[in-house]
Amino acid sequence: MPVHRPETVPITLAEREIRLITDVLRHAAAECSAVTTPSEPSDAALDGGVTLGRLTVQWQGIVGEQMRHEGTGLLSVSQNREAWYQVRAALSDHAAQASRDVELAGLDADAPARRRAHDALLLADRIAEASHGW
């Protein structure tokens, strides 16, 4: 069981969910021109404030490194409530954009973009449920 500070919320995620979150955060940071190379190392806590840039660096660095060492396909990721809120917001925004793009392109229900949007919404809901009780 991972050790976490009381203000952090651990959520167990599958490798594909971690990759989805990391990709969505990377895209969100690029869209808003967020700085993704903060002066602190990628394993630094988000105590200085949660920004898309810092969050993206953290997910790319720490979570990626943990995935390589764990090797189980599942990983418990601890974030503070604000960070989880930002992750959920990025997932929801991604789902909305992807759904809009699918509708504009007239793609069918089995389109990969539509499935990805659906997965992003389900993951955002699961994170909201998991982080609510802490």
Residue 24 pLDDT > 90: yes
Question: Measured between alpha carbons, how far is 12 from 126 in angstroms, rounded to an integer?
Answer: 10
Q: pLDDT (tens digit, 9 = 90+) per residue, 34-92? A: 555 555 554 555 556 678 888 888 888 867 677 676 666 788 888 988 899 999 999 99
Answer for the pair 80, 88: CB distance below 8 angstroms, yes or no. no
Which region holds residue 108: left if phi is over 0, alpha if psi is between -120 and 50, else beta?
beta
Which of residues 76 and 111 earns the better pLDDT score? 76
Which of residues 75 and 133 earns the better pLDDT score? 75
pLDDT value of residue 4? 47
Question: Measured between alpha carbons, how far is 97 from 91 in angstroms, rounded to an integer?
Answer: 10
Question: Measured between alpha carbons, how far is 8 from 95 in angstroms, rounded to an integer?
Answer: 26
**CB neighbour list of residue 62: distance below 8 Å, 6 or more residues apart:** 42, 43
Task: Kindly indicate the confidence band of residue 10, based on its pLDDT and cuts at 50, 70 and 90.
Answer: very high
pLDDT value of residue 71? 66
Residue 10 structure tokens: 């651990």
pTM for this one? 0.77
Q: pLDDT (tens digit, 9 = 90+) per residue, 91-110? A: 999 999 888 877 777 767 66
pLDDT value of residue 22? 92
Buried b (16+ CB within 10 A) or exposed e, 79-97: bbeebbebbbebbbbbbeb
